[in-house]
Structure 1
Amino acid sequence: MKNNLKTILLIASISAPLSAWATLGENTSSIMNDAIVLKASAPVAQDQQSLDQVTTNGANYQTNTLVTQTGIVIKQFSNNGNVFGVAWHGPKVPNQSQLFGKYFTIYQTSQPSYKSLTMRKVSTSDFVSSTSGWMGHYEGKAIIPSLAPANVTINSLK
Structure 2
Amino acid sequence: MAAAAGSVHAQLGSTLGNAAIGSGTSNALAAVIHQAGNSAVRWQETTDANQIRVRQYLSPATGLVYAVSWDGPAMPDVSALLGTWFDRYRQGASAALESASGLHSSRVDGSDFVVETHVRLRDFSGRAWLPDALPAGVAAADIE
Normalising by structure 2, we get a TM-score of 0.78
1:68 to 2:38 alignment: no
Whole-Å separation in 1 of the counterparts to 2:50 and 2:44 = 18
Identity score, percent? 26
Give the alignment partner of residue 95 of structure 1, picking from 54, 71, 77: 77
User: Are the equivalent residues in 1 in contact too, given 2:106–2:116 (CA < 8 A)?
Assistant: yes
Whole-Å separation in 1 of the counterparts to 2:28 and 2:108 = 27
1:42–1:89 Cα change, 3 Å: same
| CA RMSD in angstroms, aligned pairs only | 2.5
User: Are the equivalent residues in 2 in contact too, given 1:72–1:89 (CA < 8 A)?
Assistant: yes
User: Are the equivalent residues in 1 in contact too, given 2:40–2:137 (CA < 8 A)?
Assistant: no
Partner of residue 153, structure 1 = 139
Q: Does the residue aligned with 2:83 lie in a helix, a strand or coil?
A: helix
1:27 to 2:15 alignment: yes
Instruction: Tell me the CA shift for residue 21 of structure 1.
Output: 5.1
Whole-Å separation in 2 of the counterparts to 1:31 and 1:42 = 15
Whole-Å separation in 2 of the counterparts to 1:124 and 1:28 = 24
Instruction: Tell me the CA shift for residue 108 of structure 1.
Output: 0.8
Partner of residue 83, structure 1 = 65
Instruction: Tell me the CA shift for residue 154 of structure 1.
Output: 2.8
Instruction: Tell me the CA shift for residue 155 of structure 1.
Output: 2.3
1:43 to 2:31 alignment: yes
Of residues 25-34 and 73-82 in structure 1, the stretch that sits farther from structure 2 once superposed is 25-34
Instruction: Tell me the CA shift for residue 74 of structure 1.
Output: 0.7
Which ranges in structure 2 are unaligned for 5 or more consecutive residues?
Answer: 1-7
**Structure with the higher fraction of residues in helix conformation:** 1
Instruction: Tell me the CA shift for residue 97 of structure 1.
Output: 0.1
Partner of residue 104, structure 2 = 118
Runs of 4+ in 1 over 4 A off after TM superposition: 30-33
Normalising by structure 1, we get a TM-score of 0.72
